[in-house]
Structure 1
Amino acid sequence: MASDQDFLKAAFHDPQAVANYADSPRMAFPGFVDMQRMATLLLAERVNTNGRVLVVGAGGGLELKVFAEAQPTWTFDGVDPSPAMLQLAKQTLGPLVSRVSLHEGKVDVAPDGPFDAATCILTMHFADLDERRQMLSAVRRRLQPNAPFIAVHLSFPQTNGARSQWLSRYAAYVTSSGVDPEKASQAREAIDSHLTILDPEHDETLLRESGFSDVSLFYAGFAFRGWVSYA
């Protein structure tokens, strides 16, 4: 069986996979564009005109572009461990990249801040439980008091056969989006084997244990959940 590192390398370092990345969230993630718009609005509730935002898992540049277009006076720091994905982010951003500093690595390579907000979208499920706690603590340390933090990732019940059912639902959704059923099945198996998926209650508990308050669910789309909380 392939290791977690092999899985991540195939997903985010393979040139063909990187080239096709922009289409992947829209195929697998219900309401992807609307989720990004909601996230932007939630950030704007507390981020001032000259806000500085930390984006964890910034490779590809999809949310960076949405945020930068919506808020032309904000600046951003984005971190991602994949140089290929960071290069794609630069291409996605185009001239908007002048307001973005990109850093290769995980959240520990990010500047100390303090930031006015942070996001971690479609990234947390790649981290095991210990690393997830470290990520959340590292983000929390870099935020201004009361700054918003948005986290969106795979999250669904894990007991009494629910995990298998939700993974099958994920595969069914991807298939209904036009993905070949065999590839959808392979994606299901890869996610089951290599990603760390928690039930939503556990996700919320981790946020609170890491020092975030007022944890609120703002998005639920089939197998994905999204929360806003505050430092």
Structure 2
Amino acid sequence: MTSLSHAKFDPTRAREYAEQARIGLAGYDACHELSACVLSAALAGAKERRVLVVGAGGTAGEITTTARLEPSWTFVAVDPSEPMLTLAQAAVEEAGIGERVSFVRDAVSALPPEPAFDAALMIGVLHHIPEESDKARLLEDIARRLRPGGSLVLAGNYRAYDSEPLLLAAWANRWRLHGASDEDVQAKLARIMAGAVPPESEEAVAALLAAAGFSVPERFFSSLFWGAWHTQRET
């Protein structure tokens, strides 16, 4: 993430992230499980794989779930937010996989610019990056660090929020269902609308990936504004 986008994940917001993420994304755990399953299927063959996890802070769900499915894989978790990365480290230690995960508090661009990874996971990151050029640069940075043919599982919100009023109203009802008042719901939606800029369409996601050197993405999960795709670095 850029310095501007990761700064909003302060200690207070980091602490509430796990609960709020599961309300905000219906199917949060299912998305992480399917991401692990798809990545495992795409990389079937050699047992030992090295996986880059981008924006890994928070629950570390993508790491703990994938590590449970693939006990020989190792992970490099990158996140510029110290509070979020601290939470991820705690989750990894609790899962008993600390020796398989390295943590880097920085951007992907700070990693050595060489194809050192078999795959990458980036869940819930792209829509937090305001500028289109920064979205493109991050995907390019990931592509450079993947081996030719390496897999990327990308998940996040797509479509402008005000373009789908029915979905936006349903999203508001998710918080109401979990006890939020009307005032709290409006405050949450206002914060989302002001602080997140998703790609405008699934076609826009595909275009960003193509420009970074990835193949046509295959969507395997969807929930309101959220989608998850598998793609590969072109050889």
Above 0.5 in TM-score? yes
Within-5 A mapping of 1:176-191: 176-191=177-192
Aligned-pair CA distance for 1:215: 1.2
Question: 1:99 maps to which residue?
Answer: 100
Within-5 A mapping of 1:1-231: 5=4, 8-10=6-8, 12-13=9-10, 15-47=11-43, 48-60=46-58, 61-94=60-93, 95-111=96-112, 112-127=114-129, 128-156=131-159, 162-197=163-198, 198-231=200-233
Aligned-pair CA distance for 1:113: 4.0
Matched to 1:41, the amino acid is C
The whole-number CA distance in structure 2 between the counterparts of 1:31 and 1:179 is 19
The whole-number CA distance in structure 1 between the counterparts of 2:66 and 2:181 is 32
Give the number of equivalent residue pairs: 223
Does the 8 Å CA contact 2:53/2:77 hold for their aligned counterparts? yes
> Unaligned stretches of 5+ in structure 1?
none
The whole-number CA distance in structure 1 between the counterparts of 2:20 and 2:229 is 22
- Give the TM-score taking structure 2 as reference length: 0.87
Does the 8 Å CA contact 2:125/2:156 hold for their aligned counterparts? yes
> Unaligned stretches of 5+ in structure 2?
none
Does the 8 Å CA contact 1:57/1:80 hold for their aligned counterparts? yes
Matched to 2:149, the amino acid is N
Cα 1:187/1:8, change in 2 over 3 Å: farther
The whole-number CA distance in structure 2 between the counterparts of 1:202 and 1:28 is 22
Cα 1:141/1:55, change in 2 over 3 Å: same
Does the 8 Å CA contact 1:117/1:143 hold for their aligned counterparts? yes
Cα 1:177/1:205, change in 2 over 3 Å: farther
Cα 1:179/1:107, change in 2 over 3 Å: farther
Matched residue SS, 1:116: strand
The whole-number CA distance in structure 2 between the counterparts of 1:85 and 1:217 is 27
Aligned-pair CA distance for 1:8: 4.7
Aligned-pair CA distance for 1:121: 0.2
Cα 1:222/1:84, change in 2 over 3 Å: same
Cα 1:180/1:80, change in 2 over 3 Å: farther
Matched to 2:82, the amino acid is P
Does the 8 Å CA contact 1:151/1:227 hold for their aligned counterparts? yes
State the Cα deviation string for residues 191-216 of structure 1 (Å, max 9, x = none). Answer: 21221122221111111121111311
Cα 1:86/1:131, change in 2 over 3 Å: same
Does the 8 Å CA contact 1:79/1:110 hold for their aligned counterparts? no
- Give the TM-score taking structure 1 as reference length: 0.89
Identity of aligned residues (%): 26
Aligned-pair CA distance for 1:68: 1.4
CA RMSD of aligned residues (A): 2.0
Aligned-pair CA distance for 1:222: 0.8
